[in-house]
Amino acid sequence: MALRVVGALRDDIVTMALRPGDVISESDIAGRYGVSRQPVREAFIRLAQQGLLLIRPKRATVVKKISPEGVRQSRFIRESIEVEIIRRLAGHPSADAGTVLGELIAEQEAASNANDSRRFHTLDELFHRTLARLIGVEYAWQLIDDHKMQLDRVRYLTLGSSSSKLAISEHRTIVAAVTAGDVAGAEVAMRAHLARAEVLLSQTIAAHPDYFE
């Protein structure tokens, strides 16, 4: 089906198997997956709406280059929402929030010690998603997830730079502030945690300038 093509292409894009600037035609992808052009076309439309492809009518369809400005604003959106989440969470600290988050951090430490960066990435995402779930706005996280694909492409380029120990430490600081009901402290900790991605971006741009616009 068409959805299968969507998933396959999205994976290829975020894992940089399809690199920014690559041109892909409907016929090309259709032949590669053994389907007709129509499902591929619909997949293109979906991915274009998600900002991964750029359809230039009657010309070609290219994998969208990463827009530094877009990444910056995606970070702004994420920081706005995550800060609001952490403030509400610290303002009304639930009983089991600390335990649930503590268990997640423990698993993250295990993954970090095992050098399983893939699993650590999953747990890190789950940590932030759990924060949203604890105040009942998990749907809001789905929104972040869509825009996080842009950030994930950058993150994939900098996979080896495992600063997982630092991230775990920051997670602990955040949880501590939440359980203590320290709204201002939780906000500061969350902003600091998210701010680390800023330097990553400029480093990545310098390392792969042709992937950006």
Distance CA 85, CA 132 (A): 6
CB of 8 to DNA, least distance (A): 13
Instruction: State the binding string over 51-80 for DNA (x if CB under 7 A, else -).
Output: ----xxxxxxx-------------------
Residue 33 has phi, psi (to 5 degrees) of -105, 0
| 143 sits near a copy of itself (criterion: CB under 8 A) | yes
Specify the amino acid at residue 142. Q
Stretch that binds DNA, among 9-17, 25-33, 186-194, 203-211 (CB under 7 A): 25-33
Among positions 22, 33, 65, 70, the unique one binding a copy of itself when judged by CB under 8 A: 70
Task: Indicate which single residue of 34, 56, 69, 199 sits in contact with a copy of itself (rule: CB under 8 A).
Answer: 69
The reply on whether position 15 binds DNA by CB under 7 A is: no
For residue 61, which amino acid is it? T
Q: Which of 32, 76, 115, 163 binds a copy of itself (CB under 8 A)?
A: 76
- CB of 34: closest distance to a copy of itself in angstroms? 21
Distance set, CA 158 to CA 55, 155, 204 (Å): 28, 5, 7
Residues 170 and 176: their CA atoms lie apart, in Å, by: 10
**Which residue of 16, 35, 45, 149 would you call a contact of a copy of itself, by CB under 8 A?**
45
Task: Collect all residues with Cβ–Cβ distance below 8 Å to 93 and sequence separation of at least 6.
Answer: 178, 179, 181
Of 42 and 116, the one with the shorter C-beta distance to DNA is 42
Q: According to the binding rule CB under 7 A, does residue 8 interact with DNA?
A: no
Q: Which does 208 bind (CB under 5 to 8 A by kind): DNA, a copy of itself, none?
A: none
Phi and psi at residue 182, to the nearest 5°: -90, 95
Strands (E), the chain: 53-56, 60-63
Rg, C-alpha atoms of the chain: 19
- The item of a copy of itself, DNA, none sharing an interface with residue 198, based on CB under 5 to 8 Å by kind, is none
